[in-house]
Amino acid sequence: MLKIRLQRVGKRNEPIFRIVVTDSKNGPKSGRFLEVIGSYDSREKNETKVNADKVKYWVSKGAQLSGTLHNLFIDKGIIEGKKINVLPKKTPIIKEVDEETKGEKEGDVLTKEKSTGETSSEEDSEKIEEVKKEDPIEVSDKEEKEEVKEKTKEEKKAE
C-alpha cells in the first residue's frame, strides 16, 4: 500500500521535511521513496511547497495520507474534509478492588459473611479484631485507617 508521508531531512535542531510517496512497509528513515511531492518546514509555516497535482494523482491511485499531512493539505486547500486528531488517545487507569480480595486478607470466615451480607458493620469490626487476635495477619496501614474511620463514624452515630 502506498503512503504519502513526511521524511525528515534537516540538520539537528533544524527540522525540515520532504513530502514523499513511499511503500507503507518502508520506514520513514529508510530513505526509499517513489517520488518527492514537496517540502515542509515546520518552523516557518509559509515555507510549505507542495505540488497539488501530484498529490491528487497519487491519492487517486490509492495512496493513503498520514494524519499530519491530511491536516496540512486541508489547511492549504489541496483536499477537502475534516481534520483528523493525530494525538494519541489517553486511556484512564482503572484500579479495581474487590471486597472478596480484602476479605481474604482478614480471614475466610469474613469473606463468606461479606459476600452474603449477613453481618452488620459493628459485627464485622468485632470479627476482624477477633481474627487478628487469633491469627496474626499483616494488615496494611490503609485498612487500619479505614477501620478507625468506620469506628469513629459509628461512635458519632451512637451519640
For the record, the C-alpha cell of 9 comes out as: 531531512
Question: Which pLDDT score is estimated for 114?
Answer: 46
- CATH at 21: 3.30.1320.10
**92 domain-assigned:** no
C-alpha torsion 111→117→120→121, nearest 10: 50
pLDDT tens per residue across span 84-139: 888 877 776 766 655 545 555 545 544 444 445 444 566 666 666 665 555 444 55
Beta sheet of 35-41, edge-to-edge order: 49-50, 35-41, 16-23, 2-8, 64-65
Question: Which pLDDT score is estimated for 83?
Answer: 87
Question: Which pLDDT score is estimated for 37?
Answer: 92
Asked if residue 68 and residue 103 are part of one domain, the reply reads no
The last residue of a domain, from among 76, 111, 137: 76
Asked if residue 69 and residue 32 are part of one domain, the reply reads yes
Average confidence (pLDDT) over 60-75: 88
**91 domain-assigned:** no
**H or E stretch at 17:** strand 16-23
Q: Pairing mode, if any, of strands 64-65 and 2-8?
A: parallel
**83 domain-assigned:** no
Number of domains within the chain: 2
Contact 147, 102 (CB under 8 A): no
Q: What DSSP line would sit under 30-55, residue for residue?
A: S---SEEEEEEESS-GGG-EE-HHHH
- Structural domain range at position 27: 2-76
The last residue of a domain, from among 76, 108, 127: 76
Asked if residue 53 and residue 15 are part of one domain, the reply reads yes
* Average pLDDT of the residues of the chain: 75
Q: Is 32 a residue whose pLDDT tops 70?
A: yes
Q: Is 43 a residue whose pLDDT tops 70?
A: yes
**39 domain-assigned:** yes
**87 domain-assigned:** no
